[in-house]
Amino acid sequence: MLETDYDIKKMTSFRIGGKIARMYFPASIEEFVEIIEKEPDAFVGGNFSNILVSSDGYDGAVICTKRIDTIKFDGNIVTAGAGVRGTKLSKLALEKELSGLEFMIAFPGSVGGEVFMNAGAHGQMIADVLKSARVYCPDKGVVTLNNSDMEFSYRTSICQRKPYSVLEAEFVLISSTKDNIQERMDENLSFRQNKQPSLTLPNCGSTFRNPEGDSAGRLLDEAGVKGLKIGGAHVWENHANFIINDGDATSLDILSLMDEMHSRVKDKFNIELKPEVRYLGGKNEKEVEICRKLNLI
Ligand SMILES: Cc1cc2nc3c(=O)[nH]c(=O)nc-3n(C[C@H](O)[C@H](O)[C@H](O)COP(=O)(O)OP(=O)(O)OC[C@H]3O[C@@H](n4cnc5c(N)ncnc54)[C@H](O)[C@@H]3O)c2cc1C
Domain housing 127: 71-192
Residue 174 in domain: yes
Q: How far is the CA of 228 from the centre of ligand 1 (A)?
A: 25
pLDDT attached to residue 184: 95
Residue 131 in domain: yes
pLDDT attached to residue 193: 82
Residue of the CA atom closest to atom 36 of ligand 1: 113
Ligand 1 atom nearest to 118, measured from its CA: 11
**pTM assigned to the model:** 0.97
Structural domains in the chain (count): 1
Residue of the CA atom closest to atom 41 of ligand 1: 112
Residue of the CA atom closest to atom 20 of ligand 1: 109
Q: What CATH number has the domain bearing residue 84?
A: 3.30.465.10
Catalytically annotated residue among 85, 155, 184, 264 = 155
| Residue 67 among the catalytic residues | no
CA distances from 127 to 1, 111, 116, 236 (A): 32, 12, 11, 30
Q: How far is the CA of 250 from the centre of ligand 1 (A)?
A: 20
Computed over every residue of the chain, the mean pLDDT equals 97
Ligand 1 atom nearest to 119, measured from its CA: 11
Alpha-carbon distance 261 to 41, whole Å? 32
User: Residue 76 — pLDDT band, cuts 50, 70, 90?
Assistant: very high
Residue 207 in domain: no
Residue 178 in domain: yes
Residue 128 in domain: yes
- Residues 83 and 53 sit within 8 Å (Cβ to Cβ): no
Residue 219 CB partners (closer than 8 Å, separation 6+):
211, 265, 268, 269, 271, 273
The angle at the Cα of 153, spanning 183 to 158, to the nearest 5 degrees, equals: 120
pLDDT attached to residue 192: 87
Catalytically annotated residue among 206, 251, 264, 287 = 206
Q: Which residues in 201-212 are b (16+ Cβ under 10 Å) and which e?
A: ebbbbbbbbbee
Catalytically annotated residue among 102, 168, 276, 287 = 276
pLDDT attached to residue 130: 98
Q: How far is the CA of 154 from the centre of ligand 1 (A)?
A: 13
- Short-list 206, 191, 209, CA closest to 236: 206
Residue 278 has pLDDT above 90, yes or no: yes
- Average of per-residue pLDDT across 259-279: 98
Q: How far is the CA of 110 from the centre of ligand 1 (A)?
A: 7
pLDDT attached to residue 248: 96
**pLDDT per position as a tens digit, 155-164:** 999 999 999 9
Q: How far is the CA of 203 from the centre of ligand 1 (A)?
A: 12
| Residue 15 among the catalytic residues | no
Residue 46 in domain: no
**pLDDT per position as a tens digit, 235-266:** 999 999 999 999 999 999 999 999 999 999 99
